Amino acid sequence: MKRTDDVQVEQLPPELKAFWEERERLNEIVFEQANLTIKRFFSLDGQAYREGALSARTKEMLGLVASLVLRCDDCIKYHVIRCHQEGISDAEFGEALSVGLVVGGSIVIPHLRRAFRWWKALKEAASGAP
Amino acid sequence: MKRTDDVQVEQLPPELKAFWEERERLNEIVFEQANLTIKRFFSLDGQAYREGALSARTKEMLGLVASLVLRCDDCIKYHVIRCHQEGISDAEFGEALSVGLVVGGSIVIPHLRRAFRWWKALKEAASGAP
Amino acid sequence: MKRTDDVQVEQLPPELKAFWEERERLNEIVFEQANLTIKRFFSLDGQAYREGALSARTKEMLGLVASLVLRCDDCIKYHVIRCHQEGISDAEFGEALSVGLVVGGSIVIPHLRRAFRWWKALKEAASGAP
Amino acid sequence: MKRTDDVQVEQLPPELKAFWEERERLNEIVFEQANLTIKRFFSLDGQAYREGALSARTKEMLGLVASLVLRCDDCIKYHVIRCHQEGISDAEFGEALSVGLVVGGSIVIPHLRRAFRWWKALKEAASGAP
Amino acid sequence: MKRTDDVQVEQLPPELKAFWEERERLNEIVFEQANLTIKRFFSLDGQAYREGALSARTKEMLGLVASLVLRCDDCIKYHVIRCHQEGISDAEFGEALSVGLVVGGSIVIPHLRRAFRWWKALKEAASGAP
Amino acid sequence: MKRTDDVQVEQLPPELKAFWEERERLNEIVFEQANLTIKRFFSLDGQAYREGALSARTKEMLGLVASLVLRCDDCIKYHVIRCHQEGISDAEFGEALSVGLVVGGSIVIPHLRRAFRWWKALKEAASGAP
């Protein structure tokens, strides 16, 4: 769960800041109770996104699209934050989402709507906009 | 997104009115940021439900059952509103849901419960009941 | 499993005839071994598609679209046969599939391709074409 | 829906008590409107988890893991409560979740986090802890 | 992938023997090419099913039901073989499948049919029947 | 469906050549029967993967991972061929698959095995190996 440190929580917009803090609280509850298999899985999850032959930014987009087609809001939220942090451009973000939309169909639209809202909020928070 | 106009938002019960308004707000956020592929997808989504060889009411029931087995609450909410608007009867609504329940299994039950709650609220709102 | 009787197996095109016969063989294996819960589920499955407030043809289209978005070839095959038997027109069949395609996305395309192949084979078999 | 009676609602922690009461309210709304197929499905759903060749506790773990990999929070919540009631140990609960996590992948992690939170809350409520 | 050794491949019925041998051939191809994350995942997958607070037989049934509701034939095949090897009774096998059927709905029926066929073949092979 | 032209079918290994030819045959059957919505969807599907802010190679990896977590063999086959054609390296291919494996869980392993088999066959065909 090292990646948690990378995100500057204080600079997140309110909805995403609340998500991140809840996520950390719950991770503590998991780690109090989890067996070795679960702990190893969490470690593997971090490892899969680390810079390698593919850049961290490409991997975050892979994670974003996988989360979109599987329709998991918490996962999308996480990867939207990470994509923003990796400096992905608006056009790149939009094209990644459009691959996910075409693959996954209209059933992903409610998640796509929220992904764009989170993206907009991240950009506004970064630019000091309200 | 033409279909939005068809729904008389003021007459929706509170939970569904809030859903509809949020949906419109988010659609604006999507359209500010979306590329051509995404815009075309939204247009295609509208087109798929238009009256043709199959009536709009049959297509809304197809959309409802597809949304139920894929377990997307926002999508179910949308099609429940549209089914009500198309004048689908209680018995037709129940039979469409029962196909979805049998195909999709008990995992759809939480969504089925809410679908019936939204349906009841729509009927009460239409009849002026509290 | 009463509906089995309705299909005139001898008139099915070869690929679908083989499917139907295998399905009947396997149903026998299920019924040799199944407990009461499973037997009741099979009976409920038949019941859900019976003519009621909605016609059998509408219900078969609901089953077809649900099967398409859930991407189950055996289920699609079954409902394609039943839709043909219920006299659904080419245009109706195509519109039902297009709702499923838009809801489910490009991931359903391999199944949509086969659905059209089965439909074409059923029509050719019915018309005495090769 | 007989199983409802088995749970001592007053002893549930607040979040799960609210869930259970809402679930009962919605079940009433379903039963006001449901046709025979839906009612029979609900009855079959109860029947599947009854003590038989497999114990009720094993069946609840099967239901828990199925709900986890299908990522249905309401279903997970229900089976977490029932597992607790059946006296499943912390280690058993953790191992069942780890099978679900490995089968279902990181996409189930948000649900796993909440499952552990609900489990912890149930244990605290049972022990009189805050 | 240690569990492979546990299965006496020579005693499997033909369809399952062919599956097992293909699975081993493909595992070799994976291991030639896989990175560390993938190798660790495979190791974790083996670890999740090992005897612990829950018995290996309970864990195999958890894996079976998870595979059934996710509708993966190869995964079901694997767990059917392992359940047979763990000495699960016919009644236990049927009850595990019925939980999966009720949770997952009629869309799992094609897989349930094959699961019963594989189970029957395993029993016949074990008893020396044709 | 323009992308079809890009692939040099004669140079594909036998299993993938057969897949590609069948895919083209079925596309013809679709286009004989498809309505405008379906034709537009196919066109949109081609458009989503075109070079833009993201390179075609990145988009093919997005498509590969989305197909892997949704567990569609035909879709995976298609994107494996296209990734190879775009000159993706072995290490990049393996890392994309490992993101998909971690997100999607062990249920994707049967597809991952085949993805590696197809990749190996493509490399052998390209190098003139048997």
The values of phi and psi at residue B34, to 5°, are -75, 145
pLDDT at residue C6, as a whole number: 64
Both tokens of A95, joined, read 């094209």
Q: Whole-angstrom Cα distance, residue C23 to residue D16? A: 43
Give the model's confidence band at C4: pLDDT under 50 very low, under 70 low, under 90 confident, else very high.
very low
Residue F2 pLDDT more than 50? no
Average pLDDT, chain A: 94
Neighbours of chain F (3+ CB pairs under 8 A): A, B, C, D, E
Min Cα separation D86/chain F (Å): 28
pLDDT at residue E6, as a whole number: 64
Inter-CA distances, C107 with B130, C77, C104, D122, Å: 44, 17, 7, 40
pLDDT one-digit tens code per residue, E104-115: 999 999 999 999
Give the model's confidence band at E130: pLDDT under 50 very low, under 70 low, under 90 confident, else very high.
low
Chain E touched by C28 (CB under 8 Å) = no
Number of residues in chain F: 130
Residue D1 pLDDT more than 60? no
Residue A2 pLDDT more than 70? no
pLDDT one-digit tens code per residue, D31-55: 999 999 999 999 999 999 999 999 9
Q: Which of residues 43-72 of D touch A (CB under 8 A)?
A: 71
Contact C97 F38 (CB under 8 A): yes
E44: closest chain A residue by CA: A37
Both tokens of E19, joined, read 């599956």
Cβ neighbours of residue B28 under 8 Å, at least 6 residues apart? none
Neighbours of chain C (3+ CB pairs under 8 A): A, B, D, E, F
Q: Whole-angstrom Cα distance, residue F78 to residue F84? A: 10
Least Cα distance to F124 among F7, F6, F4, F15 occurs for F15
Burial D77-108 (b: 16+ CB within 10 A, else e): bbbbbbbbbbebeeebbbbbbbbbbbbbbbbb
Chain B neighbors of F35, CB-CB under 8 A: 52
Amino acid at B1: M
E101: closest chain B residue by CA: B105
pLDDT one-digit tens code per residue, C46-79: 999 999 999 999 999 999 999 999 999 999 999 9
Residue E49 pLDDT more than 60? yes
pLDDT one-digit tens code per residue, E7-43: 789 999 999 999 999 999 999 999 999 999 999 999 9
Give the model's confidence band at B2: pLDDT under 50 very low, under 70 low, under 90 confident, else very high.
very low
Q: Is B81 in contact with B122 (CB distance < 8 Å)?
A: yes
Chain B neighbors of E69, CB-CB under 8 A: 105, 107
Residue F98 pLDDT more than 70? yes
Contact E40 A44 (CB under 8 A): yes
pLDDT one-digit tens code per residue, C96-118: 999 999 999 999 999 999 999 99
pLDDT one-digit tens code per residue, F16-34: 999 999 999 999 999 999 9
Write the residue in C36, C37, C44 that is nearest to D37 by C-beta.
C44
C121: closest chain F residue by CA: F29
A49: closest chain E residue by CA: E37
Please state the pTM of the whole predicted model.
0.96
Least Cα distance to C49 among C87, C101, C86 occurs for C86
Q: What percentage of chain A reaches a pLDDT higher than 70?
A: 94
Q: Is A102 in contact with A112 (CB distance < 8 Å)?
A: no
Contact B33 A94 (CB under 8 A): yes
Min Cα separation A72/chain D (Å): 7
Amino acid at F92: E
Q: Is E80 in contact with E94 (CB distance < 8 Å)?
A: no
Stretch A56-63: mean pLDDT: 98
D52: closest chain C residue by CA: C35
Stretch B55-80: mean pLDDT: 98
Write the residue in F30, F41, F74 that is nearest to C102 by C-beta.
F41
Conformational region of residue B87, where left means phi above 0, alpha means psi within -120 to 50, and beta covers everything else: left
Burial A110-125 (b: 16+ CB within 10 A, else e): bbbbbbbbbbbbbeeb
Neighbours of chain A (3+ CB pairs under 8 A): B, C, D, E, F
* Residue of E99, E106, E108 to mutate, interface with D, max D Cβ within 10 Å: E99
Stretch A78-102: mean pLDDT: 98
